[in-house]
Amino acid sequence: MKYYLIAGERSGDLHGGNLIKQIKRRDTKSSFIGFGGNEMSANGMVLSEHYSKMAFMGFLEVMKNLGTIRGLIQKCKQDILNQKPDVVVLIDYGGFNMKIARFCKKNGFRTFYYISPKVWAWNTKRALKLKATVDRMFVILPFEMDFFRKYGWKVDYVGNPVLDAVKSYAVNPMETGEFVALLPGSRPQELKHGLPILTELALKVPEVTFRVAAVDNVDATVYDVIRSASNVVLDFGHTYDLLAHARAAVVTSGTATLEAALWKVPQVVIYETSQISYLIARNLIKVDYISLVNLIIGKPVVKELIQKEFNVQNIASELDLLLNNDEYRNDMLSRYDDLYKTLDIGSASENTADLMLKYLKAG
């Protein structure tokens, strides 16, 4: 069968690559094409477009780049018409992929959605749009089953692919002493907002060694600001190795917060966007937390520093607790154990591949 996959960011690319690997084991005549990144390409997908051209974050940033986004959506639609896949597999990236889902429904293409867009966080009635346009939904957070059930839609909970990635990763040794991992994100906007403050943090506590989980899908000069701190080391493409060895971490909200928790790294979560985007989001978002750790557990397990609270003094104070207060650290690690047990229902990519093949064969 021919599969057309669409992922618009780093985490989607990682999970898409693992899904492709599992589908190929079950469907030996499968072929893959679509929008994604290096992981999906490495596992055999022909890239029509790399996700690095699609990584816009925040309401204002999306508005500024509407022309580019519209062009990519049109290219994707035309590509699907040309390729005529047996199924289109959408991976997260809701704003883009929900438009593609409507297009696929209109043009008679079967559509599977792996990793639901966060419609439970804001504008929840988008769940009805998904139900109307998507043939099968595969969710990775336990509470999403109950959420979609409210809209009369039975979806499949397949486990969490982040746990798969952590379990399967072969950790590389690192010749280093104790350090704090900095995960400033992978989007240009995240790095622009976060790196100057993290640089101030490093200068404020010169006795602490920081290692930055740097990414290669952005212009390397974006990291120049933090290179000025002598106690900072940049590591490109070794995020899991850093988390496996770190004493604590400062993590930009997103998938990385869950990754840090599953690697059992005490963390503080940071997030800042443009003021306009923040004000819009504050009026729309319907959940109590922004980090996946707190959302899944339903309690404030990790400290979240958002917008004005994301400052050097607050991060330094929280880091002191994470590094030096054993009771505080151990309580967080205990909650991480609960999180791990909640998500550990087998391999998400294997479960999803099994179900996708089952539904495809059933027609």
Closest CA to 339 of 179, 130, 205, 163: 163
CATH of the domain at 116: 3.40.50.2000
Among 221, 262, 270, 218, residue whose Cα is nearest residue 243 = 262
How far is 117 from 126, CA to CA, in rounded Å?
Answer: 10
Per DSSP, the three-state class of 9 is: coil
Q: How confident is the model at residue 58 (pLDDT cuts 50, 70, 90)?
A: low
Q: Are residues 208 and 116 in the same domain?
A: no
As for how many domains the chain has, the answer is 2
pLDDT of residue 101: 98
152 and 49 in a common domain:
yes
Residues 174 and 242 in one domain: yes
The pTM assigned to this predicted structure is 0.80
Verify that 312 and 351 share a domain, yes or no. no
* Mean pLDDT, residues 37-48 taken together: 97
Q: Which residue carries 């591949």 as its tokens?
A: 353
Choose the weakest-confidence range: 268-277, 280-289, 327-336.
280-289
- Report whether 133 contacts 102 (CB < 8 A): yes
Q: Please tell me what DSSP assigns to residue 308.
A: G
Tokens 């009771």 belong to which residue? 327
Query: In the prediction, which pLDDT does 63 show?
Result: 61
107-123: per-residue pLDDT in tens? 999 999 999 998 988 78
Is the predicted pLDDT of residue 275 greater than 80, yes or no?
no
9 and 60 belong to one structural domain: yes
Residue 330 sits in the same domain as residue 184: yes
Segment 252-281 mean pLDDT: 84
Q: Write down the mean pLDDT value for the chain.
A: 92
DSSP 119-150: TTTS-TTHHHHHHHH-SEEEE-SHHHHHHHHT
Long-range pairs of 39-48 with CB within 8 A, sequence gap ≥ 24 = 39/13, 39/14, 40/5, 40/7, 40/13, 40/16, 42/17, 43/17, 43/18, 44/20, 45/5, 45/16, 45/17, 45/20, 48/75, 48/76, 48/79
Please report, in angstroms and rounded to a whole number, the separation of the first and last CA atoms in the chain: 13
pLDDT at residue 284 above 80?
A: no
Percent of the chain surpassing pLDDT 90 = 78
User: According to DSSP H, which parts of the chain are helical?
Assistant: 10-26, 38-42, 59-64, 66-83, 94-107, 126-133, 142-149, 161-168, 188-204, 224-227, 239-245, 255-262, 275-284, 292-297, 312-324, 326-343, 348-362
* Beta strands at 210-214 and 136-139: parallel, antiparallel or unpaired: unpaired
Token look-up 């597999």 returns 89
Residues 313 and 249 in one domain: yes
For residues 79 and 2, give the distance between their C-alpha atoms in angstroms, rounded to a whole number: 13
How far apart are alpha carbons 141 and 116 in whole angstroms? 9
Same domain for 220 and 114 = no
- Check pLDDT > 80 for residue 42: yes
Whether residue 100 contacts residue 123, with contact meaning beta carbons closer than 8 Å, is answered with no
Q: Do 151 and 199 belong together in one domain?
A: no
Pair (242, 322) in one structural domain: yes
Are 176 and 141 found together in one domain?
A: no
Strand partners, 3: 32, 87
Provide the domain limits for residue 260.
Answer: 168-343
Phi-psi region of 104 (alpha: psi -120 to 50; beta: other; left: phi over 0): alpha
Q: How far is 128 from 134, CA to CA, in rounded Å?
A: 10
Residues 208 and 337 in one domain: yes
| Averaged pLDDT for residues 303-309 | 93
- Position 363 pLDDT exceeds 70: yes
